[in-house]
């Protein structure tokens, strides 16, 4: 059963790849930390302003979906699939 706030797998993978590059980690390691609820550890590696932005985005599914629906992010996701 899927949660109505869940992202499609291809969008989630793209987001993991983008975020992992920003955080200096691998997509798999990022996924594991998120699954374990270790977001604070991830945010600790960012500067305070960026950490607040990421936290706000992660807590607002509508904004996250809007970001993932943007033309720039769609293009980036398509490039990651190649």
Q: What is the pLDDT along the chain (82 residues), one digit of tens a residue?
A: 344 456 678 778 888 888 888 777 888 888 888 788 777 777 787 788 888 887 887 788 888 788 878 888 778 777 766 6
Overall number of domains in the chain: 1
Phi, psi of 37 (to 5 degrees): 75, 30
pLDDT at 2: 43
The helix/strand/coil state of 17 is helix
Q: Are 51 and 39 in contact (CB under 8 A)?
A: no
In a domain, 1, yes or no: no
Report the Cα–Cα distance between both ends of the chain, in Å, rounded: 29
Q: Are 47 and 23 in contact (CB under 8 A)?
A: no
In a domain, 2, yes or no: no
Residue 47 domain boundaries? 9-81
Single pTM value for the model: 0.53
In a domain, 60, yes or no: yes
């Amino acid at each position: 059963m899927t949660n109505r706030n869940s992202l499609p797998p291809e969008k989630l993978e793209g987001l993991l790849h983008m975020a992992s590059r920003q955080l200096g980690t691998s997509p798999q390691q990022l996924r594991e930390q998120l699954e374990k609820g270790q977001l604070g550890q991830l945010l600790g590696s960012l500067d305070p302003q960026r950490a607040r932005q990421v936290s706000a985005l992660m807590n607002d599914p509508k904004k996250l979906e809007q970001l993932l629906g943007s033309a720039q992010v769609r293009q980036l996701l398509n490039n990651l699939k190649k």
